[in-house]
């Protein structure tokens, strides 16, 4: 019934849908909705508890990019992707300003070649000159961050999860993306060396969020000492008392770091599990 409805919506410009529509459903969207500008495909089974054969893949993404020439914003949850598909999408839709790809399984490579997805995302940032928001996922090395730093000149917001090899990856982004305003990183190997390499860089950004990375309490403490105009917050929601017990151990890894600019000083409403340095 949904596909029949979509076939009647030839002037549709924005579509939010569950991945149960499948690749065949997205092919119908691509064939019908030539005015489509924004597409969001959400997971119907986030935890993989069902046998979801109807979930979307790279096939649906390529079909949408080929059939919807005005598309400039996409959020796409899927279970697999290939470099070839991302390269095709980059060629078909060079006008992306928002490209968010979320592969549900962390560290998943190109499911055909079993290579990292560096080249696919590299093609996206090279082709889409006006890209302002990007989310990357899948198996990714420092190479993809080198591409991002080199080519994503207009990028303002980047979300990273389960990606990178060393501190160099984060440094490529901070040094290359001069217009970066918000950087969100989780479950990645970036630590103190990347965090402290250019402290002044954060004063041109709105915020930095790092969770489950290699940053330590000592690194956060040095950052706060060197940046009095920034708010540095350490968040530990799982162990309310752990922060007080470990706050003198500078080698202790922090659960979450939230760094942001402010003109009014530290906030007064922080809950007990938030320590402001």
Give which of 183, 119, 122 is closest to 152, Cα–Cα: 122
The Cα–Cα gap between 157 and 68 comes to: 24
User: How many other C-beta atoms can be found within 10 angstroms of the C-beta atom of residue 1?
Assistant: 5
Intervals of the chain under pLDDT 50:
240-243, 245-246
Predicted confidence at residue 270, as pLDDT, reads 82
> 152-182: buried (b, 16+ CB within 10 Å) or exposed (e) per residue?
bebbbbbbbbbbbebbbbbbbbbebbeebbe
Model pTM score: 0.91
Predicted confidence at residue 239, as pLDDT, reads 57
User: How many other C-beta atoms can be found within 10 angstroms of the C-beta atom of residue 3?
Assistant: 15
142-189 pLDDT, tens per residue? Answer: 999 999 999 999 999 999 999 999 999 999 999 999 999 999 999 999
Predicted confidence at residue 242, as pLDDT, reads 47
The pair of structure tokens assigned to 59 is 């096939």
Domain limits, the chain? 2-215, 216-277
2-215 topology per CATH: 3.80.10
Predicted confidence at residue 241, as pLDDT, reads 47
Predicted confidence at residue 237, as pLDDT, reads 77
């Amino acid at each position: 019934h949904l596909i029949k409805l979509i076939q009647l919506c030839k002037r549709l410009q924005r579509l939010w849908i569950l991945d149960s529509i499948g690749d065949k459903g997205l092919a119908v969207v691509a064939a019908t909705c030539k005015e489509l500008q924004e597409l969001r495909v959400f997971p119907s089974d986030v935890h993989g508890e069902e046998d979801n054969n109807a979930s979307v893949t790279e096939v649906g993404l390529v079909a949408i990019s080929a059939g919807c020439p005005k598309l400039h914003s996409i959020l796409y949850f899927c279970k697999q992707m290939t470099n070839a598909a991302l390269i095709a999408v980059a060629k078909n839709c060079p006008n992306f300003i928002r490209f968010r790809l979320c592969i549900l399984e962390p560290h998943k490579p190109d499911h055909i070649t079993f290579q990292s997805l560096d080249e696919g995302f590299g093609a996206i940032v090279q082709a889409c000159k006006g890209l302002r928001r990007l989310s990357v996922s899948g198996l990714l090395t420092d190479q993809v961050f080198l591409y991002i730093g080199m080519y994503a000149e207009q990028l303002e917001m980047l979300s990273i999860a389960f990606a990178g090899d060393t501190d160099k990856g984060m440094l490529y982004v901070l040094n290359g993306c001069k217009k970066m305003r918000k950087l969100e990183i989780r479950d990645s190997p970036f630590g103190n060396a990347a965090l402290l390499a250019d402290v002044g860089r954060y004063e041109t950004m709105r915020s930095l969020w790092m969770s489950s990375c290699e940053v330590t309490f000592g690194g956060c403490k040095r950052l706060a000492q060197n940046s009095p105009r920034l708010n540095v917050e350490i968040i530990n929601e799982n162990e309310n008392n752990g922060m007080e017990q470990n706050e003198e151990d500078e080698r202790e890894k922090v659960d979450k770091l939230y760094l942001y600019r402010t003109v009014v000083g530290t906030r007064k409403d922080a809950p007990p599990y938030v320590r402001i340095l």
